[in-house]
Amino acid sequence: MKRTFWPLLSAALVLAMVLGACAPAATPTPTPRPQPTAVRPTAVPTTPPAAAEPIKVAILGPLTGDVATFGASNRDGAIMAMEEWNAKGGVLGRPIEWVLGDSQCDPKAGADAARKVIDEDKVKYIVGAVCSSESIPISEYANEKGVLQVSGTSTNVNVTVDKDGKTKPYTFRACFIDPFQGQVAATFALQNLKAKTAAVVLDVGNDYIKGLAEEFRKAFEAGGGKVVVWESFVKEDTDFSAILAKVKAANPDVFYIPTYYDKLNLIASQAKQRGITTPLLGGDGWDSPDTDLAAADGGYYTNHYSPEDTRPIVQDFVKRYQARFGSVPDALAALAYDATNLLLQAIQDTGVDDPSKVKDTLAAIRYEAVSGLITFDQYHNPIKSAAILHVKDGKVSFAASVGP
Ligand code: PHE
């Protein structure tokens, strides 16, 4: 490099000198150096550069209600990504501005939050939501309005695919889906826990919980296992004694609880009180700083990432997040961070702030994210590994990684 650089530079200098010598009334160009502001001619009005119009992104998730830690982590992961882009000059030279919406892990609140951010705040992009049951109605309105949505962690199949099996053009996610998650849990139960029988409890009104329970049952029975207890409850239930009596009587090899942490805490502690010692197994919904680790002791759950993953991209992320928020990021934070980066990278790569074009860039993206390399299949789902985590002695540790 240097070899060619210097001759070229000196040639340019000679040329400049020659041109300078020929130019009539040439004034010698002073070496530019920083000028103190005081000597600037004050008579010339200076117009500040027009402030670039921000690109607005809504962050949706349950900020209140039974699973509020999900919304907090989702928000913080997304904000961290946006702050990092802003520190580098924004996207397309424009700052990112976020609008928060509380979808409460509820279909109706989700639909209301989507209408508010789209119709009133005029966002063209949404990160979120978290619970599949809120992301599904949000995706329906977003697709109607041409608003691009990237969920970090909504795993139900119907988040990105409509009732007729058609991919929703404006909805993507950064996580694997429940048919895979259920399969991973079933295989782990059959092979690692050597389980032949399982009990399963489910909230029939929740898309994610119901869907994951069904996927687990399908995979467990296909692998030769038998589901001996299959019991439903509703969101309002807090006393699980009737269900737990059946679990105790059946004495299964594994107890699958594919709920969020709020219900896990109740079911697991009531199970312990009744003397049920069956190993517990669950899904990503267990991932919360508020999970009762004593009640879930000995249990395993499938998740999207582990902060113990030694890949530098993970460790760098964990360090920056801890410095910014003072806690170890959970999967919700990591995947909201990934979802936001995917979206912003796609806007940047497209070169225009137009969701109808950005969606095509996103569909073809190849992005090295904290939770792994992301490329999308035809249903806008990434094909990724799952982590299996072990709850033991008040700690959650990485047990295994299972590839697709
Ligand atoms: N996968 C859950 C759902 O679709 C949400 C979730 C993801 C919760 C990750 C916790 C951790 O509803």
Q: Is 376 in the pocket of ligand 1 (CB under 6 A)?
A: no
Q: Residue 67 Cα, ligand 1 centroid: separation in angstroms?
A: 10
- Alpha-carbon dihedral angle through residues 205, 206, 212, 215, given to the nearest 10 degrees: 40
Shortest-distance Cα residue to atom 7 of ligand 1? 153
Q: Is 70 in the pocket of ligand 1 (CB under 6 A)?
A: yes
| Intervals of CATH 3.40.50.2300 along the chain | 55-176+309-385, 179-303
Do residues 127 and 57 touch, judged by C-beta distance below 8 A? yes
In whole angstroms, what is the distance from residue 39 CA to residue 128 CA?
Answer: 52
For residue 94, which phi and psi values (nearest 5 degrees)? Answer: -115, 145
Ligand 1 test: best mutation among 60, 103, 131, most atoms within 8 Å of CB?
A: 131
Tokens 């892990």 locate to 105
Shortest-distance Cα residue to atom 12 of ligand 1? 131
**Confidence band, pLDDT 50/70/90 cuts, at residue 245:** very high
Q: Is 106 in the pocket of ligand 1 (CB under 6 A)?
A: no
DSSP 8-state secondary structure symbol assigned to residue 66 = T
DSSP 8-state secondary structure symbol assigned to residue 190 = I
Half-sphere exposure of 53 (CA within 13 A, CB side): 3
Ligand 1 atom nearest the C-alpha of 206 is 12
pTM of whole model > 0.85?
A: yes
Neighbours of 367 (CB within 10 A): 18
Sign of CA dihedral 318, 133, 187, 275: positive
Q: Residue 301 Cα, ligand 1 centroid: separation in angstroms?
A: 12
DSSP 8-state secondary structure symbol assigned to residue 157 = G
Ligand 1 test: best mutation among 60, 66, 70, 262, most atoms within 8 Å of CB?
A: 70
**Confidence band, pLDDT 50/70/90 cuts, at residue 51:** confident
Of 8 and 344, the one with more pLDDT: 344
Mind listing the pLDDT tens digit for each residue in 56-76? Answer: 999 999 999 999 999 999 999
Mean pLDDT of 206-227: 98
Do residues 167 and 161 touch, judged by C-beta distance below 8 A? yes
Rounded to the nearest integer, the mean pLDDT of the chain is 90
Q: Residue 52 Cα, ligand 1 centroid: separation in angstroms?
A: 36
Sheet holding 125-127, edge to edge: 96-102, 55-61, 125-127, 148-151, 171-173
Do residues 187 and 389 touch, judged by C-beta distance below 8 A? no
Q: Is 302 in the pocket of ligand 1 (CB under 6 A)?
A: no
**Confidence band, pLDDT 50/70/90 cuts, at residue 2:** very low
Ligand 1 test: best mutation among 106, 203, 208, most atoms within 8 Å of CB?
A: 208
Q: Is 285 in the pocket of ligand 1 (CB under 6 A)?
A: yes
Least confident interval from 48-62, 140-154, 239-253, 297-311: 48-62
Share of the chain above pLDDT 70, in %: 88
**Confidence band, pLDDT 50/70/90 cuts, at residue 47:** low
Which CATH architecture best describes the domain 179-303? 3-Layer(aba) Sandwich (3.40)
Mean pLDDT of 42-51: 59
**Confidence band, pLDDT 50/70/90 cuts, at residue 35:** very low
Mind listing the pLDDT tens digit for each residue in 255-273? Answer: 999 999 999 999 999 999 9
Least confident interval from 8-12, 99-103, 164-168, 303-307: 8-12
Least confident interval from 10-14, 129-133, 154-158, 286-290: 10-14
Is the pLDDT at 102 greater than 80? The verdict is yes
Mind listing the pLDDT tens digit for each residue in 123-147? Answer: 999 999 999 999 999 999 999 999 9
**Confidence band, pLDDT 50/70/90 cuts, at residue 15:** very low
Per CATH, the number for 55-176+309-385 is 3.40.50.2300
Is the pLDDT at 21 greater than 80? The verdict is no
Q: Residue 304 Cα, ligand 1 centroid: separation in angstroms?
A: 10
Q: Which residue, among 205, 306, 157, 186, has the nearest Cα to 256 in the 3D structure?
A: 186
pLDDT at 89: 97
Ligand 1 atom nearest the C-alpha of 130 is 5
Shortest-distance Cα residue to atom 10 of ligand 1? 285
Q: Is 278 in the pocket of ligand 1 (CB under 6 A)?
A: no
Q: Is 103 in the pocket of ligand 1 (CB under 6 A)?
A: no
Neighbours of 95 (CB within 10 A): 16
Mind listing the pLDDT tens digit for each residue in 330-376? Answer: 999 999 999 999 999 999 999 999 999 999 999 999 999 999 999 99
Is the pLDDT at 9 greater than 90? The verdict is no
pLDDT at 16: 35
Angle at 312 between CA 93 and CA 177, to 5 degrees: 80
Is the pLDDT at 1 greater than 60? The verdict is no
Least confident interval from 11-25, 167-181, 287-301, 389-403: 11-25
What three-state secondary structure class fits 386?
Answer: strand
